[in-house]
Amino acid sequence: MQPSQRLLTLVFLLGTLAWGQTAKFEEHDFLRFLGLEKAPSPHGFKPVPRILREIFQAREAAAAASRVPQDLCYVKELGVRGNLLQLLPDQGFFLNTQKPSQDGSCLQKLLYFNSSAIKEKGKLTMARLTIDLGPRSYYNLGPELAVALSVVEDGGVWGQPHPKPGRMLAQQSVPGPQGPLHFNLRGVVKNWNSNRPKSLGLYLEILAKEDRYPGAHVQFENPCDRLIRSLHVSLLVVTLNPEHCHPSSRKRRAVIPVPKGSCRTLCHRHQLFINFQDLGWHKWVIAPKGFMANYCHGDCPFSMTTYLNSSNYAFMQALMHGADPKVPKAVCIPTKLSPMSMLYQDNDETIILRHYEDMVVDECGCG
């Protein structure tokens, strides 16, 4: 949907909500405007990852502080451009849950990610795998761990009891427990933009080396058992659709104040809060609970056009209407809009942080 079409759609939807025409309001149109085919219906909310929560909160704080317009298509916390962040859960399984083998292998796991959930047409800019080995503990230090990550040799055969590891992607020795480890998988999915795979399979193996401090700390349980219980893996994917991103150098139109005592029927901004619970969207939208969308309404008389934050064309149109009534009058429209971010969960238990341009009406004028 082109920016002009998106703006017209937003104006129509906000106008419908503003006048309380709930019977005529089509949820399907609003969802299509947001880039969704239908409203998700997850069974329950998953914990929001720290990185997504921090990004969302930082954007909310900046918007509340009325700072210089943000470029929400640049994720400064990750250092990449993108307007859609998706956290894909690991749907794989352990290949061994027994006691450590003689070679010290603690666990072997097939990591499986359903990449068909990535339906955005934009370009992939980041794919970061996070392996959380459990919380750090000074009083319960375990043995040193060797983490090995490989691609699955035959990613299309998931029925194999023991998929064979292929090309080695990363190998790292870390103290255990360590916390989260991050691996950039851009090289693995370098052809993602041209050929979107339906799945991504990786082979994870963690080996326990000799205890660094034998007898120094009491071990209440086997370190491998603790590792199997606390291990959590996820894949963060960032995509960018330039069509949904405006240049960050947009200049704000200077506001011409309406003379005091002017009639309230003139074109100006009206407050409108869209509550997601009223729409039933609280079942899948994590944050925000709603947003102050606002809308524009009022008259644009020729005598007041220059005071109503109008464009030069609106002034000429009002002038032409005075000479020829067949020429439509100038109408009250948004002249400045702000973006917003939405954090939600889809049916595949994927947590998504998405940027939307032109969602909040800040200023109105005649056009």
Q: Which domains are seen in the chain, by residue range?
A: 3-71+263-366 (2.10.90.10), 84-240 (2.60.120)
Kind and range of the H or E run holding 181: strand 180-184
- The encoded tokens of residue 106 equal 């603690």
pLDDT, mean of each 10-residue run, the chain (367 residues): 48 52 59 78 84 89 70 86 89 72 75 76 86 70 81 60 75 77 80 71 84 52 76 90 65 44 76 88 90 87 65 71 76 86 86 87 85
Measured distance CA(2)–CA(33) in Å, rounded: 11
Q: What confidence score (pLDDT) does residue 286 get?
A: 92
Q: How far is CA 214 from CA 2, 4, 337, in A?
A: 64, 68, 62
- The encoded tokens of residue 44 equal 């329950």
Measured distance CA(227)–CA(171) in Å, rounded: 18
Q: What confidence score (pLDDT) does residue 350 get?
A: 86
User: Is residue 225 exposed (0-12), middle (13-18) or buried (19+ Cβ within 10 Å)?
Assistant: middle
- The encoded tokens of residue 245 equal 């991103």
**Residues pairing with 112 in the sheet:** 201
Structural contact between residues 235 and 185, judged by C-beta atoms closer than 8 angstroms? yes
**Residues with Cβ < 8 Å from 209, sequence gap 6 or more?**
104, 143, 144, 145, 146, 173
Largest CA distance in the chain: 96
Q: How far is CA 238 from CA 46, 88, 99, 193, 241, in A?
A: 19, 11, 38, 12, 10
Measured distance CA(350)–CA(344) in Å, rounded: 8
Q: What confidence score (pLDDT) does residue 35 get?
A: 74
**Residues with Cβ < 8 Å from 346, sequence gap 6 or more?**
40, 42, 117, 284, 352
Structural contact between residues 343 and 56, judged by C-beta atoms closer than 8 angstroms? yes
Q: What confidence score (pLDDT) does residue 220 get?
A: 54
Kind and range of the H or E run holding 142: none
Q: What confidence score (pLDDT) does residue 250 get?
A: 40
Q: How far is CA 177 from CA 55, 81, 103, 138, in A?
A: 26, 33, 20, 9
User: Is residue 299 exposed (0-12), middle (13-18) or buried (19+ Cβ within 10 Å)?
Assistant: middle
Kind and range of the H or E run holding 351: strand 351-366
Side-by-side strand order, sheet with 180-184:
180-184, 123-132, 232-240, 84-89, 351-366, 332-345, 285-287
Measured distance CA(305)–CA(367) in Å, rounded: 9
- The encoded tokens of residue 202 equal 């990786």
Q: How many CB atoms lie within 10 A of CB 331?
A: 16
Measured distance CA(178)–CA(232) in Å, rounded: 12
- Phi-psi bin for 246: left (phi > 0), alpha (psi -120 to 50), beta? beta
Q: What confidence score (pLDDT) does residue 215 get?
A: 52
Measured distance CA(341)–CA(39) in Å, rounded: 17
**Residues pairing with 238 in the sheet:** 85, 126
Look up the pTM and report it.
Answer: 0.75
